[in-house]
Structure 1
Amino acid sequence: MDAELFARERVEVAPGAVHVPDWLAAAGQRDLLAACRDWARPPAGLRTVRTPGGGTMTARQVCLGWHWYPYGYARTAVDGDGAPVKPFPDWLGELGRCAAEAALGPQRPYAYDIALINFYDGDARMGMHRDADEKTDAPVVSLSLGDTCVFRFGNTGTRAKPYTDVELRSGDLFVFGGPSRFAYHGVPRVYPGTAPAGLGLAGRLNITLRASGR
């Protein structure tokens, strides 16, 4: 992966859905990882998400700004330890705005105020779902750290085909807005042991930034 003949190019996977490889440099990845480790500590730290049907998500999660639970938002970790959700830092909102512009061009000044940080070990997956609990159509910003994954990006009408599988590596950016804002997407596979050697992370972190509109 570190010695490819051709550089990976920016790709519009669907209208309004763009993959920007290697957007976050190595130093930025290390800084973001350090912040994620702080956020994952209790209270309101990394937790296992339980679904309404009684199952559990295999990717574990911590939230900033607003606490997401299936299928709503709260100011406390209502399905965790009940502690107040950790604050969403201004610098992370600015990172979200810069990322959205890097992928989609000039945007309205959306107020990013939610981060969902998912940790995947080698066996974790994420089923096809839509990010539809917000009250705004601001583009969703997704940053990857650590192990490479298959990111499946689908359509707005069904969890089934058509969809496109995209390989997301550490430092990659994926943004979806406009006509693709409410498309189904998921992670069917993670490739263990593929994180950059200098990062110091076993597993994958996905930092998803959203604007709540609340």
Structure 2
Amino acid sequence: MPDGFRYLPEYFGRDDQAALIQAVLDARASAPFWRPAMPRTGQPLSVLMTNFGPLGWVTDKEKGYRYEPSHPETGAAWPSLPQKLLSLWQEVANYPAPPEACLVNWYAPTSKMGMHIDWDEEATDAAVVSISLGDKARFRLGGPKRGGKTASVVLSSGDVVVLGGDARRCYHGVDRIYPGTSTLLGEEDFPGGGRINLTMRRVTIPASFPGWKPPQGLC
């Protein structure tokens, strides 16, 4: 694995996992899950999405990948980041400013996420912090160029992954979900079960660092 990759298995116990899922359920009132689309082609993603935080990641055919302060369908502001997530960021991100966005992906049993780099942020020196909840998933991490050598790890509910340093600019994705490996997502609230992935990011350059520029060589 590249430098800056950290795998923290079983970081959250069952009670904390349930509390995070409840926060997602509470957020759905103003920020319901929706299915975004790829730029240009308009092809729908296989995951459903919503967000926490002052900014939320969205994508559609017309405007592409970007961060917006409100839900694309309801127009409402995104719900605040839960304190458990803010505390996690403080403990593992090693960054002098809080996260501004937490993308919530709901993976159905057949959902996948193609290899990509999170690179729509100004603050590309800030780590990406990811929490797995629900069914197990096979996470794949490559290098800074598409199509290179990759490695994989199976993530379980409560696991945390940190992509900082060199790993921040490496391709990564989710190959598959292992259905029925967790009972965390109740059928009533999440028909078909699956996996919830919470991904925290710092989007803008911290105001306390005027003139700040991202490190050279990042692409």
After TM superposition, the score normalised by the length of structure 2 is 0.81
Q: Does 1:87 align with 2:66?
A: no
* Structure 1 counterpart of 2:100: 113
Q: Using the aligned pairs only, state the percent identity.
A: 35
* Structure 2 counterpart of 1:9: none
* Structure 2 counterpart of 1:50: 37
Alignment partners' CA distance in 2, 1:186 and 1:129:
6
Q: CA deviation at 1:44?
A: 2.7
Residues 90, 169 of structure 1: alpha-carbon distance in 2 compared, 3 angstrom cutoff: closer
* Structure 1 counterpart of 2:90: 97
The answer to whether the 8 A contact 1:97-1:112 is kept is no
Q: Which deviates more from structure 2 when the two are superposed, residues 86-95 or residues 163-172?
A: 86-95
Alignment partners' CA distance in 2, 1:181 and 1:85:
25
The answer to whether the 8 A contact 2:138-2:155 is kept is yes
Cα-Cα RMSD: 1.6
The answer to whether the 8 A contact 2:138-2:174 is kept is yes
Unaligned runs of 5+ residues in structure 2 are 60-64, 187-192, 206-219
Deviations 1:133-161 (A, max 9, x none): 11112111000001000001111122x12
Alignment partners' CA distance in 2, 1:177 and 1:126:
20
The answer to whether the 8 A contact 2:101-2:201 is kept is yes
* Structure 1 counterpart of 2:9: 21
* Structure 1 counterpart of 2:57: 68
Aligned residues: 191
The answer to whether the 8 A contact 1:44-1:83 is kept is yes
SS at structure 2 position matched to 1:170: coil
The answer to whether the 8 A contact 1:16-1:176 is kept is yes
Alignment partners' CA distance in 1, 2:99 and 2:29:
23
